[in-house]
Amino acid sequence: MNAVDTLVAEEPLELRVGGRPLAVTMRTPGDDMDLFAGFLVSEGVLRQCDELLTLRYCAGRDEAGQNTYNVLDATLADGVADLPSLQRALVTTSACGLCGKASIDSVETTTPYSLRDDDLVVPTSWLAGLPQRLREEQKVFDRTGGLHAAALFDPATDELLVLREDVGRHNAVDKVIGWGLREDRLPLRGAVLLVSGRASFELAQKAAVAGIPVMAAVSAPSSLAVDLAERVGLTLIGFLRDPTMVVYSGVQRVAD
């Protein structure tokens, strides 16, 4: 008997600013506008909702002439970004990677929010229940088994604010941050970001740039992620698996 397997979709998304190509990313279609907005926040381009004027799908047709919805164009407020400089920065990032002390210094300097000013405190009992809540909401993962997830929780209300899934863990986090920008919630103070995989430097960087004080992962963090978290005041939690966890930095925000 042949079984039917459902595969997760992965397609390229071309990102444009003012009609000019900026980057191409591979993603799972869905919440593309959040993805683009979060990408621009993570790259230090956007900080406020009113800096992003419009987002629209544009040219991108298949052989039948149907829109593929794989080209997204952003219009930014005047003076927000110098596109050639941004393009050069993206080329440099892809070529050399984000690594070492210089990159940590850069994030520490360019992060517009002070995480150390966020006095959020969360109990371990509440944190321990987050992975199960995340798993219960991963609807596409249930069908495919091939997606990463990122979710933002509000400890004050016990509310799951937003959850996004994507074939790329970085995209999932960008979709969460983009939601925050488009809802005019940045900085995301008093919130907890949970990711379904490991905590890399890039994910910790995204959390810091968005003003998120606590980031937790069900798997391990990297050494550079811990270094960054300590430098910028981010509480970083790894191996979050009820009832245990490891707090690598910012232990003052975790109440036993």
Per DSSP, helices labelled H in the chain are 32-42, 83-96, 100-110, 124-128, 130-136, 139-144, 169-182, 201-209, 223-232
- 49, 58, 96, 99: the catalytic one is 96
Q: Which among 7, 25, 251 is positioned nearest to 145, based on CA atoms?
A: 7
Question: Is 179:173 a contact under the CB 8 Å cutoff?
Answer: no
Respond yes or no: is residue 96 known to be catalytic.
Answer: yes
Cα separation, 177 vs 122, in Å, equals 21
Residue 18 per-residue DSSP state: T
Nearest residue to 20 (alpha-carbon basis) of 92, 95, 90: 90
Chain centroid, CA 42 distance in Å: 8
- Chain centre to alpha carbon of residue 219: 16
Q: What is the largest CA-CA distance in the chain?
A: 61
Report how far residue 38's alpha carbon sits from residue 180's, in angstroms, rounded to the nearest whole number.
8
Give me the half-sphere count of Cα atoms (radius 13 Å) on the Cβ side of residue 209: 28
Alpha helices, DSSP H, located in 66-129: 83-96, 100-110, 124-128
The C-alpha atoms of residue 208 and residue 115 are separated, in whole angstroms, by 7
Can you tell me which residue has the tokens 């593309």?
32
Active site residues: 96
